[in-house]
């Protein structure tokens, strides 16, 4: 009986505090509109398996600049190009910090990695070192032959599949290619798939991505970060200068690996479509493709893209 009364008292207290918070927010008047949360939990209950979808729905109701508390963290969610420009350009300096974050503390040595480091002298020095030494045009060009060698191996593998008319798991092959190129650039050697698994790299990377995404909702900006067919054929800048398509972010915390990322994506996609014609397996139509997403730091497909290649460069 006592626990029922305690539970009822706690629920009543939560609703009372919620009503009080809602009045205080209206009185304050300075905060952007947004859902009123519960004490302690804030609006966490409004976010489900795919937080970016939930935030998108909420933004439709509350507008492109929305305020909500996620747990105890006050959060502003922006979801239009104009609002993104306000945050990432006009007020870039105000938003360049990265708040304390439990996941980042554990996976990046007390937030010592460039991505999670608070804005300040340490971040500035590491960023400068990465940009000038590790990710400079000169450095990226110096790995051109490494990229070509690894890509040629993939093309040879797909040629074999083409001869045998079997479908290729493109997601898994491209992910291995990217891991091989990265390992050769970082460690000077690549690892066999088995060694890679044994050393526990893969689970660590996947778990890191999952953790970073789960705990980093405060930094999460919903629909504007997702590339979409509506940008095909348009002049919209992929580097973030138009604030409409932001795959690499924008402003002082934007991605320093953008040049390397774009170089690799372009080279791989160009080779795959130049060397092969692609068909979906089992006479599947493009609209029947399984586009289910998985939750992570980025938004990967839940199930890899598989397609059957036909080599098209026979003399």
Q: How far apart are CA 172 and CA 304, in angstroms?
A: 7
- Tell me: does residue 151 bind ligand HEM (CB under 6 A): no
Identified binder of ligand HEM from the candidate list 34, 37, 51, 247, rule CB under 6 A: 247
If one asks whether residue 62 binds ligand HEM (CB under 6 A), the answer comes out as no
Query: Based on CB atoms, which residue is closest to ligand HEM, 37 or 150?
Result: 150
Both tokens assigned to 253: 């915390």
How many residues touch ligand HEM under the rule CB under 6 A: the total is 14
Q: Which is nearer to ligand HEM, 63 or 261 (CB)?
A: 261
Whose structure tokens read 């009045």?
A: 23
Q: Which residues pair with 307 in a beta bridge?
A: 168
Site string for ligand HEM, 251-270 (x = CB under 6 A): --xxxxx--xx---x-----
Q: Which stretch binds ligand HEM (CB under 6 A): 199-207, 241-249, 268-276, 301-309?
A: 241-249
Q: Which is nearer to ligand HEM, 138 or 314 (CB)?
A: 138
Contact (CB, 8 A) for 259 and 279: no
| 115/310 with CB nearer ligand HEM | 115
Closest residue (Cβ) to ligand HEM? 257
Query: Of the ranges 35-43, 167-175, 244-252, 305-313, which one interacts with ligand HEM (CB under 6 A)?
Result: 244-252
| CA 279 vs CA 99, 105, 156, 180, 284: distances in Å | 46, 45, 18, 26, 8
For residues 166 and 170, give the distance between their C-alpha atoms in angstroms, rounded to a whole number: 12
Least distance between ligand HEM and beta carbon 235 (Å) = 20
Q: Is 130 annotated as a binding residue?
A: no
- Measured CA to CA in angstroms, residue 291 lies from 249, 299, 300, 301, 304 at distances of 24, 11, 10, 6, 9
User: Do residues 104 and 212 make contact, with C-beta atoms less than 8 angstroms apart?
Assistant: yes
Residues in contact with ligand HEM, shown as a per-residue x/- string from 67 to 106 under the rule CB under 6 A: ----------------------------------------
Instruction: Tell how strand 168-169 and strand 276-279 pair up.
Output: unpaired
Q: Classify residue 110 by its DSSP letter.
A: T
Range list of H helices, 220-310: 258-275
Task: Tell which one of 231, 248, 278, 311 touches ligand HEM (CB under 6 A).
Answer: 248
The span from the CA of 308 to the CA of 229, in Å, is 23
Binding mask of the shown chain, residues 127 to 146, with x at each position contacting ligand HEM by CB under 6 A: x-------------------
Integer Cα distance of 260 and 253 in angstroms: 16
Is the CB of 161 or the CB of 221 nearer to ligand HEM? 221
CB of 11 to ligand HEM, least distance (A): 38
> Smallest Cα–Cα separation from 63: which of 86, 88, 45, 44?
86
Distance CA 219, CA 314 (A): 49
Q: Name the residue nearer to ligand HEM (CB basis): 70 or 264.
A: 264
Residues that constitute the known binding site: 255
Binding residue positions for heme: 255
Give the residues lining the site for ligand HEM (CB under 6 A). 114-115, 127, 247-249, 253-257, 260-261, 265
């Amino acid at each position: 009986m006592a626990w029922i009364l305690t539970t009822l008292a706690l629920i009543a207290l939560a609703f009372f505090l919620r009503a009080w918070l809602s009045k205080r927010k209206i009185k304050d008047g300075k905060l952007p509109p947004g859902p009123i949360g519960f004490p302690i939990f804030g609006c966490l209950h409004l976010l489900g398996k795919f937080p970016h979808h939930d935030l998108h729905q909420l933004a439709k109701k509350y507008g492109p600049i929305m305020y909500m508390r996620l747990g105890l963290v006050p959060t502003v969610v922006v979801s239009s190009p104009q609002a993104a420009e306000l945050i990432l350009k006009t007020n870039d300096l105000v938003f360049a910090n990265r708040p304390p974050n439990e996941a980042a503390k554990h996976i990046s040595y007390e937030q010592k990695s460039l991505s999670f480091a608070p804005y300040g002298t340490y971040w500035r020095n590491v960023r400068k070192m990465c940009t000038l030494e590790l990710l400079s045009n000169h450095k990226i060009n110096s790995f051109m032959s490494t990229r070509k060698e690894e890509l040629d191996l993939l093309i040879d593998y797909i040629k074999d599949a083409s001869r045998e008319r079997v479908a290729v798991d493109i997601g898994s092959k491209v992910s291995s290619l990217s891991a091989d190129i990265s390992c050769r650039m970082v460690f000077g050697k690549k690892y066999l798939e088995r060694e890679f698994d044994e050393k526990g790299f893969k689970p660590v990377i996947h778990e890191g991505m999952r953790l970073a995404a789960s705990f980093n909702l405060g930094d999460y900006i919903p629909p504007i970060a997702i590339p979409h067919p509506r940008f095909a054929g348009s002049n919209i800048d992929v580097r973030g200068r138009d604030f409409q398509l932001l795959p690499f972010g924008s402003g002082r915390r934007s991605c320093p690996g953008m040049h390397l990322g774009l170089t690799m994506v372009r080279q791989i996609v160009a080779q795959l479509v130049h060397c092969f014609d692609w068909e979906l397996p089992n006479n599947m139509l493009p609209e029947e493709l399984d586009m289910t997403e998985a939750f992570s730091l980025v938004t990967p497909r839940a199930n890899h893209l598989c397609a059957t290649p036909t080599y098209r460069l026979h003399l």
